[in-house]
Amino acid sequence: DTAVSQTPKYLVTQMGNDKSIKCEQNLGHDTMYWYKQDSKKFLKIMFSYNNKELIINETVPNRFSPKSPDKAHLNLHINSLELGDSAVYFCASSDGLAGTDTQYFGPGTRLTVL
Amino acid sequence: AQSVSQHNHHVILSEAASLELGCNYSYGGTVNLFWYVQYPGQHLQLLLKYFSGDPLVKGIKGFEAEFIKSKFSFNLRKPSVQWSDTAEYFCAVNAHGGNKLVFGAGTILRVKS
């Protein structure tokens, strides 16, 4: 049973398109995250949600909009895709908001914008 | 802003060699420290973490890490690596009071059998 799953695993699209990445966790966790891994391999936090409420919103362009329909799901919608959006996007979840909580990661979605 | 530096991007070792991967962070306050590992084809997973107490922490698969506050370091060690330790290793830091993890760029370890 996969704990944190993401779909799709690979996404290739043209500039200007709108796309979504879905994330689901079956761990019963209250907190979920989106990270972006750029070409230099750094994972950078984009958003976090706790019980469907936005907690962290880093300086991400407003073309990126997270949506949490329930605490087990956190989807990422991206409008007007740009070349610089090409990256691997990781979803993660944790039990709570404590800094000591372990985060559990999904397999990643490799987005390529042409 | 917090940052995390991992000094080696690629490390190649023979089986049974000892491993030490460096990690330094820039945050001056109290921190929680993590090492995550991504084995080929698998999800990123926790190897070990430190948040208080004994600065030498032990994790899964014989790994350990030592927090040296004066050096802002949290180096990962294993006395004798195995081929199955081939993976990418990420150091991460979280400042007390928040749940935001700041990651290093990762170190790719290849163990030759």
Annotate A46-62 with DSSP letters as a single string. EEEEETTEEEEE-S--T
* Structure confidence at residue B2 (pLDDT): 75
Percentage of chain B exceeding pLDDT 90: 81
**Residue A40, pLDDT above cutoff 90:** no
Rounded to an integer, the average pLDDT of A1-29 is: 95
Query: Which position has the higher pLDDT, A99 or A29?
Result: A29
* Structure confidence at residue B28 (pLDDT): 79
CA distance B109 to B50: 22
- Which residues in chain B are contacts of A101 at CB distance < 8 A? 99
Beta carbons of B99 and A107 less than 8 Å apart: no
Question: How many angstroms separate the most distant Cα atoms in chain A?
Answer: 40
**Residue A8, pLDDT above cutoff 80:** yes
Percentage of chain A exceeding pLDDT 70: 99
Residue position matching structure tokens 């990123």: B44
* Structure confidence at residue A59 (pLDDT): 77
B36-87 residue pLDDT tens: 999 998 999 999 999 999 999 999 999 999 999 999 999 999 999 999 999 9
To the nearest whole angstrom, how far is the Cα of B78 from the nearest Cα of chain A? Answer: 21
Q: Where are the beta strands (DSSP E) in chain B?
A: 4-5, 10-14, 19-21, 24-25, 31-38, 44-50, 56-58, 64-68, 73-78, 87-95, 102-103, 107-112
**Residue B97 pLDDT class (50, 70, 90 cuts):** low
User: Are residues A105 and B44 in contact, defined by beta-carbon separation less than 8 angstroms?
Assistant: yes
* Structure confidence at residue A56 (pLDDT): 85
To the nearest whole angstrom, how far is the Cα of A58 from the nearest Cα of chain B? Answer: 10
* Structure confidence at residue B24 (pLDDT): 96
As beta bridge partners, residue A45 has A35
**Residue A107, pLDDT above cutoff 80:** yes
Rounded to an integer, the average pLDDT of A41-46 is: 90
User: Are residues A76 and A89 in contact, defined by beta-carbon separation less than 8 angstroms?
Assistant: yes
**Residue A13, pLDDT above cutoff 70:** yes
Which among A31, A42, A104 has the least Cβ separation from residue B99? A31
**Residue A66, pLDDT above cutoff 80:** yes
Rounded to an integer, the average pLDDT of A39-61 is: 88
* Structure confidence at residue B29 (pLDDT): 83
Beta carbons of B43 and A31 less than 8 Å apart: no
